[in-house]
């Protein structure tokens, strides 16, 4: 039986990591040729993974305290679907690691370290500037074997937030996109004050979670992942932001100080042991699919309910 994630006593109200970085996700949008940059306010099409949905900049309350507001200062594009096992294999050349490698199922049993390799390999394949650097190189081919235990060299990975290539979303980017950003139910203008409390991505408070999120609360009880895109998307057109597989984010796990935040992230191995994943999974009940819920584990861990999706400028 698969070992469950560590520390099940999670907070439903979001607490966040914040630390000073030389750059942040909203601080740039270049890094590649101008022809590689998507047009403003439009979706982006990748030759390898299809559509990436445009997610506008904006501000949102990230928990039940009115003054706890996060600003995402720059728009970004997020993959419409979870990365599939086939896409992972085709880009990295690594055999699909999934426990359930049926056609169009999300890749899972994939570590945070493996997700970094995928992001840079995809960037290189599409002629974009890679985001991640390990041991002075952006080429996964020279990073060495992907770690299967704690690795200080890989944990010290740096991110070039102004690069044009693919990366994992930050935790706050994931939350903003999951709640639907400025298209989310209940948003009017200014700061989105209610999105954090959504029971799942796409929730209006009256619709049925089983139409949007594949979880262990479904009947009959799931025995595996489900193909991507079979359920309804959230307001932005993003599928499986809740349920099916948990999704790795960039951030180390830790506590936020509260108050106003802008493009929060954390870059540094010294202050963390666990990386965050979000969204809930096929073998967890519906409560774990809440927009504000977070889980975490070691970056080398591989579980049959943890996958990822990617973003780029």
Instruction: Let me know if residue 71 belongs to a domain.
Output: yes
- By the 8 A CB rule, do 201 and 266 touch? no
Is 269 exposed, middle or buried, given 0-12, 13-18 or 19+ CB atoms closer than 10 A?
A: middle
Residue 85 is part of which domain span?
42-312
Tell me, what DSSP letter sits at residue 15?
Answer: -
CATH code for the domain in which residue 223 is found: 3.90.1580.10
Instruction: Let me know if residue 22 belongs to a domain.
Output: no
Higher local confidence (pLDDT), 39 or 143:
143
Instruction: Let me know if residue 18 belongs to a domain.
Output: no
Averaged pLDDT, 38-54: 92
Instruction: Let me know if residue 74 belongs to a domain.
Output: yes
What CA–CA distance (Å, rounded) separates 174 from 172? 5
Whether the pLDDT of residue 7 is over 60: the answer is no
- Give per-residue pLDDT as tens, 184-194: 999 999 999 99
Instruction: Let me know if residue 209 belongs to a domain.
Output: yes
The pairing of beta strand 76-79 with beta strand 44-46: unpaired
What CA–CA distance (Å, rounded) separates 166 from 121? 9
Q: How confident is the model at residue 205 (pLDDT cuts 50, 70, 90)?
A: very high
The kind and range of the H/E element at 133 are: strand 132-133
pTM of the predicted structure, to 2 decimals: 0.91
Instruction: Let me know if residue 166 belongs to a domain.
Output: yes
Averaged pLDDT, 219-226: 96
Whether the pLDDT of residue 286 is over 90: the answer is yes
Instruction: Let me know if residue 185 belongs to a domain.
Output: yes
Give the position of tokens 């290189």: 124
- Give per-residue pLDDT as tens, 134-184: 999 999 999 999 999 999 999 999 999 999 999 999 999 999 999 999 999
How far from chain centre, in Å, is Cα 254?
17
Tokens representing 53? 């949905």
What CA–CA distance (Å, rounded) separates 59 from 73? 8
Tell me, what DSSP letter sits at residue 235?
Answer: T
Domains of the chain: total: 1
Vertex 245 angle, CA 26 and 232, to 5°: 80
Instruction: Let me know if residue 248 belongs to a domain.
Output: yes
pLDDT, position 40? 67
């Amino acid at each position: 039986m698969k070992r469950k994630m560590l520390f099940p006593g999670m907070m439903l109200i979001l607490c966040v990591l914040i630390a000073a970085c030389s750059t942040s996700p909203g601080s740039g949008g270049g890094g590649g040729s101008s022809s590689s940059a998507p047009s403003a306010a439009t979706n982006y099409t990748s030759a390898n993974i299809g559509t990436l949905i445009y997610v506008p900049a904006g501000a949102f309350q990230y928990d039940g305290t009115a003054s706890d507001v996060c600003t995402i200062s720059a728009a970004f594009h997020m993959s419409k679907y979870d990365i599939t096992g086939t896409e992972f294999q085709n880009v990295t050349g690594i055999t699909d690691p999934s426990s359930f490698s049926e056609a169009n199922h999300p890749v899972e049993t994939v570590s945070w370290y493996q997700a970094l390799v995928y992001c840079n390999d995809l960037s290189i394949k599409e002629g974009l500037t890679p985001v991640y650097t390990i041991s002075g190189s952006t080429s996964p081919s020279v990073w060495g074997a992907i770690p299967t235990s704690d690795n200080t060299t890989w944990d010290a990975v740096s991110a070039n937030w102004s690069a044009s290539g693919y990366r994992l979303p930050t935790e706050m980017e994931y939350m903003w996109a999951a709640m639907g950003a400025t298209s989310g139910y209940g948003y009017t203008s200014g700061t989105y004050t209610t999105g954090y409390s959504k029971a799942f991505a796409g929730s209006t408070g009256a619709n049925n979670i089983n139409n949007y999120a594949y979880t262990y609360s479904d009947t009959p009880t799931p025995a595996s992942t489900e193909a991507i895109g079979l359920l309804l998307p959230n307001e932005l057109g993003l599928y499986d932001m809740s349920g099916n597989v948990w999704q790795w984010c960039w951030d180390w796990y830790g506590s936020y100080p509260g108050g106003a935040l802008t493009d929060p992230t954390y870059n540094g191995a010294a202050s963390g042991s666990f990386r965050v994943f979000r969204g809930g999974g096929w073998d967890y009940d519906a409560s774990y699919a809440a927009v504000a819920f977070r889980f975490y584990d070691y970056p080398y861990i591989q579980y049959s309910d943890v996958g990822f999706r990617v973003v780029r400028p």
